[in-house]
Homo-oligomer: A and B are copies of this chain.
Amino acid sequence: MRPATLRVGIAGLGTVGVGVVRLLAANAELIATRAGRPIAITAVAARDRTRERGVDLSGLRWHDDARGLAGDPDVDVVVELIGGAEGPARQLVEASLAAGRPVVTANKALIAIHGASLAAMAERSAVPLCFEAAVAGGIPVIKAVREGLAADRLTRVGGILNGTCNYILTAMRESGRDFASILAEAQALGYAEADPSTDIDGIDAAHKLAILAALAFGRPVDFASVHVEGIRAVGALDIAFAQELGYRIKLLGIARLAEAGVEARVHPCLVPQTMPIALVDGVFNAVFAEGDFVGRVMLEGRGAGAGPTASAVVADLIDVARGTTIPVWGANAEHLSQVVSVPIGERVGAYYLRLQVLDRPGVIAEIAAILRDSGVSLKSMLQHGATEDVSGNDVPDAVPIVLVTHQTREHAMRRALELIAALDVVIEPPAMIRIEAG
């Protein structure tokens, strides 16, 4: 008896959707041997039937309304590639799970925001809900964290989760140019969207971090508790000072299981130049996880693009074809942990501060006194000659000062920063970047 073909309905025929169509055609035979049966597309849903997409869609059933895939009798598994946490994407996934149909999605926003309720629906219907493509593209990080490291108590997970930000920060370092000019270049090259805010404000990375944290710590996904800062405020000066101090600036997502609960945050970090993650440049992503027995594991590769994302979508389809059944978040909902979230104010770590100050006697003493009174201990200070202000005008009387603190609690750091910002001699809002050395 020939095994039954797994019949796939794809919603969304953008870059990734077309990539999945291409991959299933290009590697059909190999995929069938690995899945134990053929995997074939039988239906698609997309708005524009007439657009030329460069792939053969003849013979496929076409749905103008994506939700039609949930009830199509010739579809065994629905692939959702529409995107967005609400609207048609959410409606399709909910309808499919309710109808007892497995779902594969690349939609990080949907999973980060509605992953808990969707998992409950999948559990009720006893069908898989897979989202390997939602984090770090083709790098199999969901599988690694949920299954490969399943024996470990994970205490830390995160990484470089957004290729656009990593590209921009890398290009800023290599060129010495500022954020705005590199962003414009990245947009021209197609590495950044016309509306780049989801990427550069850290939201995309935060979606991914929320997903990783839920898997690593076995608790319901909780996007709202992730502290998010993007890279708009990182200056060319900061990148140069970081270099001088032996660091590189990376946008990291970090989730940590501490005694008080889970700390999850996305923000620019100074990382020592000798740390492997500091060396992951350009559009590449890297995900690390730390466990009590395995130690630290890191995975790197392309985190976006049609090919890598399609690779992850189809790997999920192969798991569905094989009948692999693992709870969505690694354990059934009743066994998920209820560990609380810890606000960013509780972070303990070192800080980099850059102040633009008037070059007057006693300025440093004044700043040092504020830090001391706030309980922040200073580790080192860098001062160079007069420079330009952010608008490029000469301010002969102003100099940048860089301060590096010892470990301190973020509450204290912020209190000190407010007082410092209020000083007359401090002529720009201070820049504060967290240092991550571990």
A-to-B contact residues, CB < 8 Å:
19, 23, 26-27, 30-31, 33-36, 132, 137-140, 143-144, 147-153, 218, 276, 279-280, 291-302, 307-308, 310-315, 317-319, 322-327, 330-332, 335
Contacts and interface: CB of A to CB of B under 8 A. Distances in A.
Given A294-B308, A307-B295, A150 B31 contact: yes
A295 B335 CA distance: 37
B291 A311 contact: yes
A322 B322 contact: no
Copies of this protein in the assembly total: 2
B218 A34 contact: yes
B33 A315 contact: no
A410 to B, nearest CB: 29
Which among A19, A138, A153, A330 has the greatest number of chain B C-beta atoms within 10 A?
A: A138
28 contacts: A30-B153, A36-B327, A36-B332, A132-B148, A138-B149, A140-B148, A140-B149, A143-B147, A144-B299, A147-B319, A148-B312, A148-B315, A150-B314, A150-B318, A151-B310, A151-B313, A151-B314, A151-B317, A276-B280, A294-B307, A295-B308, A296-B302, A298-B299, A298-B301, A299-B299, A300-B300, A322-B325, A324-B324
B293 A311 contact: yes
B297 A147 contact: no
A140 B151 contact: no
A276 B300 contact: yes
A246 B252 CA distance: 30
A307 B264 CA distance: 26
